[in-house]
Structure 1
């Protein structure tokens, strides 16, 4: 039997409130979260029970996703059942068709064979230079230490530990990604397309990374293992136009090894860990924590790290030149008015810590009082307000002297805030139509969705070849696309309600603004729909909502999938529950792949 099955929910006691007493990340501990009792509120009903939905077919194959995932809206459409899967495999080749070698294996190689693939130093220097312009290194490398090791490598490559060589291959691979992301055509820079032949440098580097990991017995941990795994994870992620579940599986390899190495415990507990190594462990753990929250959301699944089991402190706001390998005691953290490469990592860690709590709440199968959501909103808002001034959003007209990297960091942090507000309140969207006490939830979701799509349109313009963000647009991929789709789904709900019996929820002017925003998003996703299954699905969905008629093959597919707008809207009778994956293959993101972030 094939169909959707509710998971059973258990009742929540009022003493199980997940609200923390203090903000994780803003104090000495980024992860140790205590709880306090929720206030008894007999006048407020609980959130509608919503434990997720499961696809289960007649041969026993099961696919689960949380209802907090954006795909819960589109994949609840009955017209997609039995039809979507035949279009899941796009007729066009993906950016990288090969699966991660670390999951499925690759040909083994000796250290000598691996070293023979290192390009000449001048070429390697160029790739390293490109890599160092990205946000990634701040949470992975100490530049001074790495550059010293890099010079030593060229003096005697054969004596270099194989896991350091692995790290070098990940750096060169990311440098290649950066190089190929720039287009001379005048079009928007896209996620790079690579030759899939065995001789291409990209695939050679990817293969060598896996061979190094296997040769170095990476499951035992050790120096450079976690750093290499993090960057390998990012490479496999960046190379795909659509998020794939197998990439999330890689996260399930990274986190257990990190726990086995004790990265979740603060180094202050262990006197044998030197000050330098301890601070680098804090940076690496902050990166892992952020990846877990961000990419678990892409997969529509609970995060893996349990915050109550971790106490690693946040890194200090230090320049790499402030401390070195032989330092006995770390200097005090620089004031956050001083911009350092690590400052963005700190800001992300704080707001993502709150986002992780909200994600936990969204995945919780137990009911909880509406008042808890209000307190989470306050915590989220306070965290946003406490971010360093240099990383708070400012209009582009007031950011003339800012670097593209700083602007993109501000966009990411602000969009994360709005996404978390939607995830926090979206269960109340349906109830807010008939129960005035939930009007605030509806307004928060609406305002946040509008802000997110406005960011999408801004990024589309500024990542064009002559835009201010053209040089780094490719590094902000599936994470932000997930946000765009979530926002579009919320505005689809408003169109449905306004077109029905609840015309008083918004005025005509606002209704037209929503349609205009969705139409522009449709046009942004349209070019990517020829290369991405998920972009194609989004374009077809918005076409039905907005009454756009596609010509040719696009129009025929849309008609097969949806039939008509009446059938589409008929599936939104209870948007508050947003059932998902009813007989379809999991879909996790949709792209205009110029916008991304490695979390």
Structure 2
């Protein structure tokens, strides 16, 4: 996610290695034997399968960082390619509940998990730039795609966290959760936090509150992620992400409480004739909130990407400030 690929895939003619076992080779072999089917796991199978998913991720990055903004139709078409590439991989490398390690080797479990995380990240990176365009109905597909992928990523984080706790079934394999994997979880959490922040902004500006069920659903997801990150607050990355999630939770809860108070006040009868006007103190409160929100410009996702990909630099990066700068100041909430 840092520098663009030095060698574009379109200019490469090197083929992927064949799916072969060590036993397929012998002294004096003249040519490579035919590849085994990918459904037959070998020591090279993971690299071959991941290559197809990685190729789509590289294509997504190139698409989103193009100097000439691609059309939305191209984005939707690329989404179909990304999903098709994942659908084509062998079932043995597709996601299964992590408890399936009872019958599978740990290496297989982690391989399929890593591949799925890469696939989900591809979808998020492809669609996240449209999160702010709530007024254009065309982009509703992108918002849903990005949020669904982020939700699934955080579900995987919860699964991994659960089975790697002391006494968990994979508690001695926690070292396999690399910083790269943690950066994927950070990205997913920030996508949902940003969407919640935008929902608050739209609710205050339009004097119409976001769908309560959806707001509470994503709030619960962030709260669960916050519990997980808080448990690793001894690391700088854990503290920073936990702080950003905590701030988002606080803002959303305060917004929900303010909204509930306003709606109750609007329906409160003050005389024999119901008064439908909003009390002055609530009107001023909402007006103050609306004045505090700035219009969202193009999101600088590269700034976030570069920071979360480098654990040594994220300690100097304020994720919560990035959220506030992106979606407008929220001091009045």
In the aligned structure 2, how far is the partner of 1:353 from the partner of 1:389?
19
1:392 offset after TM fit, Å? 0.9
Give the match for residue 63 of structure 1.
none
Q: Is the aligned partner of 1:309 residue 2:11?
A: yes
Q: Is the aligned partner of 1:356 residue 2:58?
A: yes
Question: In 2 relative to 1, CA 575–515 (structure 1 residues): closer, same or farther, beyond 3 Å?
Answer: farther
Task: Determine if contact 2:183/2:308 at 8 Å carries over to the other structure.
Answer: no
Task: Determine if contact 1:526/1:535 at 8 Å carries over to the other structure.
Answer: yes
The DSSP-based 3-state class of the residue aligned with 1:500 is helix
What pairs up with 1:354-503 in 2 under 5 angstroms?
354-396=56-98, 400-431=102-133, 433-502=134-203
Q: Is the aligned partner of 1:518 residue 2:222?
A: yes
Question: In 2 relative to 1, CA 457–324 (structure 1 residues): closer, same or farther, beyond 3 Å?
Answer: same
In the aligned structure 2, how far is the partner of 1:516 from the partner of 1:434?
25
Which deviates further from its counterpart, 457-466 or 539-548?
539-548
Give the match for residue 588 of structure 1.
309
In the aligned structure 1, how far is the partner of 2:58 from the partner of 2:191?
21
Give the match for residue 538 of structure 1.
241
1:414 offset after TM fit, Å? 1.2
Task: Determine if contact 2:233/2:242 at 8 Å carries over to the other structure.
Answer: yes
In the aligned structure 1, how far is the partner of 2:99 from the partner of 2:152?
17
5+ long unaligned stretches in structure 2: 252-287, 313-333
In the aligned structure 2, how far is the partner of 1:403 from the partner of 1:324?
28
Which deviates further from its counterpart, 323-332 or 495-504?
495-504
Query: Which protein is richer in helix relative to its size?
Result: 2
Task: Determine if contact 1:404/1:468 at 8 Å carries over to the other structure.
Answer: no
Give the match for residue 262 of structure 2.
none
Question: In 2 relative to 1, CA 395–579 (structure 1 residues): closer, same or farther, beyond 3 Å?
Answer: closer
Give the match for residue 578 of structure 1.
300
Give the match for residue 263 of structure 2.
none
1:310 offset after TM fit, Å? 1.6
**Under a length normalisation based on structure 2, what TM-score does the superposition of the two structures give?**
0.73
1:390 offset after TM fit, Å? 0.8
Task: Determine if contact 1:428/1:438 at 8 Å carries over to the other structure.
Answer: yes
What pairs up with 1:285-364 in 2 under 5 angstroms?
297=1, 300-324=2-26, 326-364=28-66
1:428 offset after TM fit, Å? 1.1
5+ long unaligned stretches in structure 1: 1-296, 549-565, 592-599
1:450 offset after TM fit, Å? 0.5
Task: Determine if contact 2:18/2:34 at 8 Å carries over to the other structure.
Answer: yes
Task: Determine if contact 1:462/1:470 at 8 Å carries over to the other structure.
Answer: yes
Question: In 2 relative to 1, CA 429–581 (structure 1 residues): closer, same or farther, beyond 3 Å?
Answer: closer
Which deviates further from its counterpart, 410-419 or 460-469?
460-469
Give the match for residue 254 of structure 2.
none
Deviations 1:82-108 (A, max 9, x none): xxxxxxxxxxxxxxxxxxxxxxxxxxx
In the aligned structure 1, how far is the partner of 2:101 from the partner of 2:308?
37
1:507 offset after TM fit, Å? 3.2
The DSSP-based 3-state class of the residue aligned with 1:351 is helix
In the aligned structure 2, how far is the partner of 1:326 from the partner of 1:493?
60
Question: In 2 relative to 1, CA 361–328 (structure 1 residues): closer, same or farther, beyond 3 Å?
Answer: same
Question: In 2 relative to 1, CA 528–399 (structure 1 residues): closer, same or farther, beyond 3 Å?
Answer: closer
Deviations 1:234-292 (A, max 9, x none): xxxxxxxxxxxxxxxxxxxxxxxxxxxxxxxxxxxxxxxxxxxxxxxxxxxxxxxxxxx
1:481 offset after TM fit, Å? 1.2
Size of the aligned set, in residue pairs, is 271
**Under a length normalisation based on structure 1, what TM-score does the superposition of the two structures give?**
0.42
Give the match for residue 250 of structure 2.
547
In the aligned structure 1, how far is the partner of 2:31 from the partner of 2:25?
9
Aligned-CA RMSD value: 2.9
The DSSP-based 3-state class of the residue aligned with 1:547 is helix
In the aligned structure 1, how far is the partner of 2:192 from the partner of 2:294?
12
Deviations 1:50-93 (A, max 9, x none): xxxxxxxxxxxxxxxxxxxxxxxxxxxxxxxxxxxxxxxxxxxx
Question: In 2 relative to 1, CA 469–573 (structure 1 residues): closer, same or farther, beyond 3 Å?
Answer: farther
1:324 offset after TM fit, Å? 3.7
The DSSP-based 3-state class of the residue aligned with 1:574 is coil
Give the match for residue 319 of structure 2.
none
Give the match for residue 85 of structure 1.
none
Question: In 2 relative to 1, CA 581–443 (structure 1 residues): closer, same or farther, beyond 3 Å?
Answer: closer
1:488 offset after TM fit, Å? 0.8
Task: Determine if contact 2:132/2:198 at 8 Å carries over to the other structure.
Answer: no
Question: In 2 relative to 1, CA 475–426 (structure 1 residues): closer, same or farther, beyond 3 Å?
Answer: same
Task: Determine if contact 1:318/1:334 at 8 Å carries over to the other structure.
Answer: yes
Question: In 2 relative to 1, CA 570–314 (structure 1 residues): closer, same or farther, beyond 3 Å?
Answer: farther
What pairs up with 1:548-563 in 2 under 5 angstroms?
none
Question: In 2 relative to 1, CA 483–506 (structure 1 residues): closer, same or farther, beyond 3 Å?
Answer: farther
